[in-house]
């Protein structure tokens, strides 16, 4: 039998004694944190904002698949004149293309017309009349560029600032840094919808917490039916009985946390409590019977909870009212390698009224000022045709923002005369992230997590504040 090492035994006892005999212990600290949450809100790692706060929450309307900037917000009459003719080689020589690499390139002009909207006179495609009617509230960036030419990695880059797996998503960074104003709902919620065509899959890694504790990951709600699986209590189990079970599980987890320093144990403690509270809060969130008909009509909701982008936009507003920090709505309908005319008309019809309705609704409730809306995809589309559509494009695309301290009725940046490359006031994805964090009161260089000896942050080692976008 191996002899007991007295020194090792003493160290073990002392370590265990420290953890178990502390005034609270780690488990007690975790449970104390739950008590704080019960009083309203979940605290973040930042003790106070780095900068003046203009936005309190973000709603990211993600047009998954890469909508063509040439049929949305970037009118190019010269490209229209060149339609059907060889595309100038001077633009593309030596450039990375996706599926058009090595092919004979033909110019493809926009199939739709543009017009100037509102007092600001912003040029927006006639495919989006409702969004166009909100032109004086929009801050359009026409000079975006990204680094990734394939969908999954481009989404990852837009969401996490990196293609390295394990990097936290934008929503996870916000929840980690700022916390949220609710303890009854997740602070980061994701909803998805799909159009008739152009449906690219979107993986759950796009809302992962990565290297952060898993309590900061996005929670996907189902757009149809029960938003959360197993939301109701099992048959024969009443709320008081379930409360007792939860409390006993919490007690056991607390004991484990006192012996083992593992943030996932504290996550488990918090999430058991969250799950119990969600049994009451989620049905209230999704019960839109109290919404008047004119609000449903404003969003274009035909049947609440039907899985449409319109229904998801209405839910997004209700989540924003209840203190959710990050709400991300994916609409999978924009991957138009072919059939772009019918595909974009259909996709635009899916999102146009609902997007405008969300902006109007927030505005009339006094919430637009501190809610930052971001609308856009993971990249743009080539000004060269690909059959009846357009290929992926990383050198030029557009997004727009509204509310949350951005400059309204404002267009920023420009592409060349054929819409091939951003050439004026170029905005990289890292710059967009930097500016969004700034609006939320965060200095992007100071919100970091130590991992493998490095200070990891959303913007990596890049990112410049685009001051002209801020009101």
What pLDDT shows up at residue 3? 55
What pLDDT shows up at residue 231? 60
What pLDDT shows up at residue 464? 98
DSSP calls for 172-206: HHHHHHHEES-SSS-SEEEEEEE-SS------GGG
Show the CA angle centred on residue 443, arms to residues 30 and 317, nearest 5°.
70
Structure tokens at 467: 């001051």
What pLDDT shows up at residue 4? 54
What pLDDT shows up at residue 70? 98
In terms of C-beta density within 10 A (0-12 exposed, 13-18 middle, 19 or more buried), how is residue 106 classed?
Answer: middle
pLDDT per position as a tens digit, 311-353: 999 999 999 999 999 999 999 999 999 999 999 999 999 999 9
**C-alpha–C-alpha distance, residues 332 and 192, integer Å:** 8
Show pLDDT as tens, one digit a residue, over the chain (471 residues).
455 565 554 545 454 444 444 433 344 444 444 444 444 577 899 989 999 999 999 999 999 999 999 999 999 999 999 999 999 999 988 787 878 887 889 999 999 999 999 999 999 999 999 999 999 999 999 999 999 999 999 999 999 999 998 999 999 999 999 999 998 999 999 999 999 999 988 999 999 999 998 889 999 998 776 766 556 666 666 666 666 666 666 677 677 667 666 666 666 666 655 665 667 778 888 888 889 999 999 999 998 889 999 999 999 999 999 999 999 999 999 999 999 999 999 999 999 999 999 999 999 999 999 999 999 999 999 999 999 999 999 999 999 999 999 999 999 999 999 999 999 999 999 999 999 999 999 999 999 999 999 999 999 999 999 999 999
Helix runs in 291-399, H state only: 293-299, 309-321, 340-364
**C-alpha–C-alpha distance, residues 313 and 305, integer Å:** 11
What pLDDT shows up at residue 288? 86
What pLDDT shows up at residue 247? 66
DSSP state of 312: H
Structure tokens at 47: 């003790």
Q: What are the b/e assignments for 63-86, b being 16+ CB within 10 Å?
A: bbbbbbbbbbbbbbeebbebeeee
What pLDDT shows up at residue 289? 83
What pLDDT shows up at residue 8? 53
**C-alpha–C-alpha distance, residues 294 and 315, integer Å:** 16
In order of start, what are the domains of the chain with their CATH numbers?
A: 40-228+309-469 (3.40.720.10)
Show the CA angle centred on residue 291, arms to residues 38 and 374, nearest 5°.
70
């Amino acid at each position: 039998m191996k002899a007991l090492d007295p020194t090792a035994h003493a160290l073990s006892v002392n370590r265990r004694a420290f953890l178990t005999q502390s005034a609270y212990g780690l488990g007690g600290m975790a449970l104390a944190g739950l008590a704080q949450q019960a009083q309203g809100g979940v605290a973040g790692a930042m003790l106070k904002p780095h900068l003046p706060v203009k936005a309190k929450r973000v709603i990211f309307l993600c047009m998954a698949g890469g909508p063509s900037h040439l049929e949305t917000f970037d009118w190019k009459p010269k490209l229209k004149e060149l339609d059907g003719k060889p595309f100038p080689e001077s633009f593309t020589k030596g450039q990375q293309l996706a599926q058009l690499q090595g092919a004979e390139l033909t110019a493809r002009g926009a199939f739709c017309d543009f017009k100037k909207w509102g007092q600001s006179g912003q040029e927006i495609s006639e495919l989006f009349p409702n969004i166009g009617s909100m032109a004086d509230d929009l801050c359009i960036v026409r000079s975006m560029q990204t680094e990734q030419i394939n969908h999954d990695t481009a989404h990852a880059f837009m969401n996490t600032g990196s293609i390295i797996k394990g990097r936290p998503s934008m929503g996870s960074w916000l929840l980690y840094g700022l916390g949220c104003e609710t303890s009854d709902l997740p602070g980061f919620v994701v909803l998805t919808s799909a159009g008739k065509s152009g449906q690219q899959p979107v993986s759950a890694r796009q809302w992962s917490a990565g290297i952060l504790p898993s309590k900061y990951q996005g929670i996907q709600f189902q757009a149809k039916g029960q938003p959360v699986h197993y939301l109701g209590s099992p048959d024969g189990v009443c709320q008081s009985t379930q409360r007792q079970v939860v409390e006993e599980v919490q007690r056991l987890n607390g004991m484990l946390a006192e012996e083992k320093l593992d943030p996932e144990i504290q996550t488990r403690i918090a999430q058991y409590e969250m799950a119990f509270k969600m049994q009451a809060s989620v049905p209230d969130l999704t019960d839109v019977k109290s919404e008047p008909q004119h609000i449903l009509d404003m969003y274009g909701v035909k049947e609440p909870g039907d899985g449409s982008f319109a229904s998801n936009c209405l839910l997004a507003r209700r989540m924003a009212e209840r203190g959710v920090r990050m709400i991300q709505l994916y609409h999978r309908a924009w991957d138009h390698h072919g059939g772009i005319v019918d595909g974009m008309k259909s996709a635009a019809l899916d999102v146009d009224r609902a997007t405008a309705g969300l902006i109007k609704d927030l505005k009339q409730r006094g919430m637009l000022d501190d809610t930052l809306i971001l609308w856009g995809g993971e990249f743009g589309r080539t000004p060269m045709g690909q059959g009846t559509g357009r290929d992926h494009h990383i050198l030029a695309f557009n997004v727009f923002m509204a509310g949350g301290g951005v400059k309204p009725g404002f267009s920023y940046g420009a592409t060349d005369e054929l819409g091939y490359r951003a050439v004026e006031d170029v905005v990289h994805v890292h710059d967009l992230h930097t500016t969004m964090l700034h609006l939320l009161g965060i200095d992007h260089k100071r919100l970091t997590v130590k991992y493998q000896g490095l200070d990891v942050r959303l913007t990596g080692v890049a990112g410049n504040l685009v001051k002209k976008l801020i009101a």
